[in-house]
Amino acid sequence: MIVRAALCPSPPLLAREFTGLADVLPSLRDACAAAVADLLAPAPDVVAVVGAGQETATCDPEDRLDLSAYAPGLRVARAPGVPAGAQASPSGAPAADGQAVDPGKPGKPGLPLALGVGALLLDEAGYAGPRVLQAVDEFAPAADCLRLGRDLADAAPRVALLAVGDGSTRRGPTAPGYLDERAAPFDAAVERAVRAGDMPALARLDPDLARDLMATGRAAWQVLAGAMDGTRPSAGIRYADAPFGVAYLVAVLTPHG
Amino acid sequence: MLMGDLEPGPLRLGRQQFPPEQRLVMAIVNRTPDSFYRPGVTWDAGAALDQVHAAVAEGADILDVGGVPAKPGPEVTVAEEIRRVVPFVAAVRAAYPDLVISVDTWRHEAARAVCEAGADLLNDTWSGWDPLVADVAAEFGAGLVCTHVGTLTPRTRPFRPSFTDVMADVLDRVLWLAERAVKAGVDPARIVIDPAHDFGKNTWHSLELTRRLGELTATGWPVLLSASRKDFVGETVGAPVDDRLAGTLAVTAVGAWLGARIFRAHDVRETRQALDMVAAIRGDLPPARAVRGLA
């Protein structure tokens, strides 16, 4: 069963190294760190991370975000479990004298972004316990997502679920997906559902609309809805904004009883 | 350690130490009424100090103060050179205790006076014409720039210079000067070499030296690139001195890519930007702020 769940977005810029000398959206990074800390507080048997991928599949729990895919040539030395900030130079810049990023195993595709970000957040929280990295087909029907969620909840007596994904990408003319008037209402509906612990409302999100709005979190949220099916968890929203036109939602859900 | 392919080490200037991957901007402040670019703009001591403040704010790491123009012209006696430069060096030192101050001079009397006033680096632009300049550097623990000017004497212009291999000539001269400086007691970590674009060279020679700058940086000595608004830039792009910034920055970028470490510049802000851009391309410096496509 699910002892606690958290929602976090998956912008690559959550990896501190990617934004260069400037610390971009530290408040979002802090909110994610706090949510993951809450997620881990009940000492779960396993942490399941779910995020969108090209297909539904379990990934190697040892895999990590492929930094070189987003920042080739980046020089960082990040040991697992060590926050990037702990290695920053006095100027606040990422360590410039570190090793070039390990290019990874040739021919092996990296983790889907959402799982890579989830793995990163767990590492940064210092979590070294068992983890499941579960990709869900970004366009999977809601019923498949709900079923996957129920299976994840049954994986262990005490499962913590980290659902990683983003809201719409069309919140304004400067947004990556340009403006779509349906974007803000969609994101507001998601936030309302999470705030109310209303799992059926998440289960009812329209996959076609989500696809139109480039809301990559829809499938992961419906996995969450399946995993917490029949409960009405209490929620704490830690971040809900779209500073770059992409909706980021950070929340923690705790089931009752 | 003087010849051959050395691993570049840290460069020490004044109280500071700079690692090999750090590219330094050397801001030009002329205490002359008649230098080639914007003549007389810092002839007034107050204006010169204002320019120092601006250069520091724009990212200069080193100041290069000159009291005698390179081109031929009215004689500037040693006493007059000292009068132009020394009080100014003292004023800059008082205002900026840690700023690296270089002085462009070829005469040991002036060199001694500026070192007493707090200069850190002697930019001996005329290629060791006065060998006692190296002795002054050694005595004061100052740095020394070892340059190549071919067969020129100070303050003369090149007349039909030719070389079998201009880079070989440059290497011979600057490495010999560096060796002489070490023997004179100059700290090897404070020695810089400079091919001296335009000095005793035509435009083709300066282009060749730019193209082959990697041969100089491969010696391991820190290389100073002094190209700002010079004639070879102007002749190459067909532009008068006021319109040579883009050409200068192109030379700057190529030089930085090939490993030069100090860039003597009139345009500090633009040079700093160009060098930061090259540093980021090389992977030595992260972008200032990267968000595009990452949100």
DSSP A226-257: HHTTT---EEEEEEEE-TTSS-EEEEEEE---
CB neighbour list of residue A81: distance below 8 Å, 6 or more residues apart = A123, A124, A126, A127, A128
Residue B18 pairs in a beta bridge with B11
The question of whether B264 is a catalytic residue gets the answer yes
CA dihedral over A37, A39, A66, A172, signed as positive or negative = negative
Angstrom distance (rounded) from CA B193 to CA B136: 17
CB B214 within 8 A of CB B175: no
Whether residue A139 lies within 8 A of chain B, CB to CB, comes out as no
Angstrom distance (rounded) from CA B70 to CA B127: 13
CB neighbour list of residue B159: distance below 8 Å, 6 or more residues apart = none
CA dihedral over B146, B147, B152, B154, signed as positive or negative = negative
CB A97 within 8 A of CB A17: no
Structural domain count of chain B: 1
The pLDDT value recorded for residue A108 is 57
3-state secondary structure string across B47-64: HHHHHHHHHHHCCCCEEE
Interface list for B 248-287 with A (CB within 8 A):
283-287
Q: Is residue B214 part of a domain?
A: yes
Q: Do residue A19 and residue B290 have CB atoms under 8 angstroms apart?
A: yes
Return the number of other C-beta atoms located less than 10 Å from residue B174's C-beta: 26
Token pair for residue A37? 């800390």
- Nearest beta carbon to residue B289 from set A11, A22, A246: A22
Structure confidence by residue, pLDDT tens digits, A231-242: 999 999 999 999
Instruction: Give first-to-last CA distance, chain A, whole Å.
Output: 12
Q: Is residue B229 part of a domain?
A: yes
Token pair for residue B237? 């792009």
CA dihedral over B166, B167, B171, B172, signed as positive or negative = negative
Distance of CA A122 to the CA centre of its chain: 10
The pLDDT value recorded for residue B7 is 83
- Out of B93, B261, B264, B272, pick the active-site residue: B264
Q: Is residue B1 part of a domain?
A: no
CB B65 within 8 A of CB B125: no
- Out of B23, B107, B229, B230, pick the active-site residue: B230
Backbone angles phi, psi at B250, to 5 degrees: -65, -45
Angstrom distance (rounded) from CA A156 to CA B163: 80
Structure confidence by residue, pLDDT tens digits, A75-127: 754 444 444 443 333 333 333 344 444 444 444 568 999 999 999 999 999 99
Which of chain A's residues have a Cβ under 8 Å away from the Cβ of B286?
17, 20-21, 74, 93-94, 96
The question of whether B230 is a catalytic residue gets the answer yes
Instruction: Tell me which residue range forms the domain holding B218.
Output: 11-282
Which of chain B's residues have a Cβ under 8 Å away from the Cβ of A13?
290-291, 294-295
The pLDDT value recorded for residue A91 is 34
Token pair for residue A139? 């366009």
Return the number of other C-beta atoms located less than 10 Å from residue A245's C-beta: 19
CATH number of domain containing B94: 3.20.20.20
Whether residue B72 lies within 8 A of chain A, CB to CB, comes out as no
For range A135-139, the mean pLDDT: 97
Classify residue B282 by its DSSP letter: H
Q: Is residue B129 part of a domain?
A: yes
Q: Do residue B294 and residue A176 have CB atoms under 8 angstroms apart?
A: no
The pLDDT value recorded for residue A26 is 97
The pLDDT value recorded for residue B138 is 98
CATH code linked to domain A2-254:
3.40.830.10
Distance of CA A231 to the CA centre of its chain: 22
The pLDDT value recorded for residue B35 is 86
Q: Are strands A234-241 and A248-254 parallel, antiparallel or unpaired?
A: antiparallel
Q: Is residue B287 part of a domain?
A: no
CB A228 within 8 A of CB A199: yes
Angstrom distance (rounded) from CA B116 to CA B136: 10
The pLDDT value recorded for residue A43 is 97
For B287, nearest residue in chain A (alpha carbons): A20
B135 SS3 class:
helix
Q: Do residue A13 and residue B288 have CB atoms under 8 angstroms apart?
A: no
CB B232 within 8 A of CB B226: no
For B283, nearest residue in chain A (alpha carbons): A73
Interface predicted TM-score (ipTM) of this complex, two decimals: 0.78
Whether residue B40 lies within 8 A of chain A, CB to CB, comes out as no
Interface list for A 19-58 with B (CB within 8 A):
19-22, 24
Chains A & B: contacts with CB separation below 8 Å: 51
Backbone angles phi, psi at B80, to 5 degrees: -70, -40
CB B152 within 8 A of CB B158: yes
Domain ranges of chain A: 2-254
How many residues in total does chain B contain?
A: 295
Which of chain A's residues have a Cβ under 8 Å away from the Cβ of B288?
20-22
Angstrom distance (rounded) from CA B16 to CA B99: 9
What pTM, to 2 d.p., does this model score? 0.82
Q: What separation in angstroms does the CA of B122 have from each of A38, B17, B29, B109, B146?
A: 61, 17, 14, 12, 9
Structure confidence by residue, pLDDT tens digits, A42-71: 999 999 999 999 999 999 999 999 888 888
- Nearest beta carbon to residue B286 from set A70, A96, A176: A96
B290 versus A72: which is more confidently predicted? B290
The pLDDT value recorded for residue A104 is 42
Q: Do residue B283 and residue A73 have CB atoms under 8 angstroms apart?
A: yes
The CA distance from A155 to the nearest CA of chain B, in Å, is 33
Return the number of other C-beta atoms located less than 10 Å from residue A57's C-beta: 12
User: What long-range pairs does B139-143 form, CB within 8 A, spacing at least 24?
Assistant: B139/B112, B139/B115, B139/B185, B140/B112, B140/B115, B140/B116, B141/B187, B141/B190, B142/B115, B142/B186, B142/B190, B143/B12, B143/B13, B143/B102, B143/B186, B143/B187, B143/B190, B143/B191, B143/B192
Element (H, E) at B217: helix B213-217
The pLDDT value recorded for residue A257 is 57
Nearest Cα to B245, choosing from B224, B223, B268? B268
pLDDT by residue, tens only, chain B of 295 residues: 444 457 889 999 999 999 999 999 999 999 888 888 888 888 888 889 999 999 999 999 999 999 998 888 889 999 999 999 999 999 999 999 999 999 999 999 999 999 999 999 999 999 999 999 999 999 999 999 999 998 888 988 887 888 999 999 999 999 999 999 999 999 999 999 999 999 999 999 999 999 999 999 999 999 999 999 999 999 999 999 999 999 999 999 999 999 999 999 999 999 999 999 999 999 999 999 999 999 9
Q: Do residue A19 and residue B289 have CB atoms under 8 angstroms apart?
A: yes
Structure confidence by residue, pLDDT tens digits, A199-218: 999 999 999 999 999 999 99
Which of chain B's residues have a Cβ under 8 Å away from the Cβ of A94?
286
Whether residue A73 lies within 8 A of chain B, CB to CB, comes out as yes
For A19, nearest residue in chain B (alpha carbons): B290
Whether residue B292 lies within 8 A of chain A, CB to CB, comes out as no
Q: Are strands A131-137 and A57-59 parallel, antiparallel or unpaired?
A: antiparallel
b/e string for B236-257 if b means 16 or more Cβ within 10 A? beebeeeebbebbbbbbbbbbe
Which of chain B's residues have a Cβ under 8 Å away from the Cβ of A70?
294
